[in-house]
Amino acid sequence: MIKTALLVACLFLFAPTAFAQTNPERKSLKGISAVPVLVQVTDGSGTTSSLLQSYVELQLRKAGIRVPSDNARIKQDGYAVLSVLVLSNPDHTISAIEVELLQAVSLARDPTIKKIVATWKARTWGGDIAGMDVNIKRGVSEQLDNFINDYLAVNPAK
């Protein structure tokens, strides 16, 4: 009961519908040469982290965005990582999806202070017990399309 209430409360932090980024947030994607992916999925959501990880990486590669296989590239790009988080309540009727690009940033007032923060973010939520796995893939796909469009807008193919 508490887990369900907590998940529902978390869902209200998400926008009720998907939202695309505005041009200022796109700028934070400029110059990133490769995008590693980190996927986290709650148990019982109808999919697995490894399946979703493969799907997200394939979509990025299809769009011409490199997905690195080594940590050296991650450090070179300021520790930029595309995080995909899928949360579902215990009875699998509600899911929340968050796709965000995390990067190391410095404070303007003191550049020696660095933090990993989301510089680009898209969220959605919904529910359908009959087709939860399909809805999750669709929701991830929609948010991933937003990311790919914004990434390519500031990093055009050469």
CB–CB of 147/99 below 8 Å? yes
**Quick check: 140 and 13 in contact, CB under 8 A?**
no
* CATH number of the domain within which 115 lies: 3.40.50
pLDDT per residue rounded down to tens, the chain (158 residues): 455 444 444 444 444 444 444 567 899 999 998 999 999 988 765 677 888 999 999 999 999 999 987 665 566 666 889 999 988 777 666 778 899 999 999 999 999 999 999 999 998 877 665 555 667 788 889 999 999 999 999 998 76
| Domain of residue 26, residue span | 2-154
| Number of domains within the chain | 1
User: According to the model, what pLDDT value does residue 139 have?
Assistant: 86
